[in-house]
Amino acid sequence: MRIARLLTGALVGAAATLGAAATLTAVAGPAFAAGDDQQKAPTEAGTSFRTAKEVAQGQRATADASTGDYLYWSFPADAGQRPTVKATVKLPDSAAGPSGATWRVDVYDGLRRRQACMYGTQSRAAAPDATSVELSCTLRTVRAWAEPWANDPLPGTYYVRLTAVDLSPADQGLPVSVAVEAASKEIGGPAAVDGSLAAPLVPGATGATGSQALATGEPDNGWSSGWWSDRWVWTAAGGVLAALAGIGGYALTRGTGRPSRVPPGM
């Protein structure tokens, strides 16, 4: 009975630890809920890295612009996230003709290094009968730490640049409407590394005038910088299961009868 109670207690402890994994991951993972901030989504775009309009993940930023403009937005991404940027361009009638215009979306990290897209349609030429162009770019998973020589995406500010290339002179300056949205998938433990940045890559102005930082956006729950990973939960669960296996092995291998008598004269 005692062994049964021990086994039952160990099983309950393991179940509680494993059951907490999903809850703790959801709590510890940075949230980018739009909520009421959706009403505050930018309705214009910046024209450079320095003037990029900040947008939270989950918000849909819009802007009216002209073909040939370079449009910039910025959003925060934390360790363990795999961001996807989507852009929609509504074309004017004349731009939907055989002009050969190609629209392109690029994503840069806080060091202004262009990040490669794992998949998605990063650039697309407007079809002759098209009224809009859809673009997307899914980045690699943001890492909490990387070697100095690596080009891995790191926690911090990310910049989105949208523009049209291969425009004919007749199509320059035509009005377009654009919409951009960034959202992330939480990858968690499979992307965890043993290390973290001292601070996220959020560029800021350091002039003597104390001017405002270039990008101030951050996750609702702050930057995790890789301190949390659901690997912690699975490690604890593994310890509980190892203890359970030890108790079970002991119960199976220990003797249940009395020790044999020692022969006389020994």
Residues 65, 181 within the same domain:
yes
CA gap 103, 121 in Å, rounded: 10
**Which parts of 67-203 are beta strand (E)?**
71-77, 81-90, 102-108, 114-115, 117-119, 123-125, 132-139, 156-165, 175-186
Indicate if 13 and 64 belong to the same structural domain. Answer: no
How many domains does the chain contain in total?
A: 2
Q: If you average pLDDT over residues 194-207, what whole number do you get?
A: 68
What is the pLDDT at residue 242? 80
Helices (H), the chain: 2-28, 231-253
User: Would you state the structure tokens that stand for residue 76, as one six-digit string?
Assistant: 């925060």
- Whether residue 56 is contained in a domain is answered as yes
pLDDT band at 256 (very low <50, low <70, confident <90, very high): low
For the chain, percent of residues with pLDDT exceeding 70:
63
Q: Which domain holds residue 9?
A: 2-20+233-252
- The predicted pLDDT at position 84 comes to 97
Same domain, 114 and 135: yes
pLDDT value of residue 171: 80
Whether 211 and 105 map to the same domain: the answer is yes
Using the predicted structure, report yes or no on whether residue 182 has a pLDDT greater than 60.
yes
pLDDT recorded at residue 20:
46
Quick: pLDDT tens for 216-243.
667 766 676 445 555 556 566 677 778 7
- 78-93: pLDDT as tens digits: 988 999 999 999 987 7
With respect to residue 263, please indicate whether it lies within any of the assigned structural domains. no
For residues 13 and 63, membership in a common domain is answered with no
Examine the domain organization and report whether 16 and 106 are in the same domain. no
Cβ burial, residue 246 (10 Å; 0-12/13-18/19+)? exposed
CA distance 261 to 258: 9
* Distance (Å) of CA 200 to CA 59, 145, 184, 216: 21, 10, 17, 11
Strands 114-115 and 53-54: unpaired
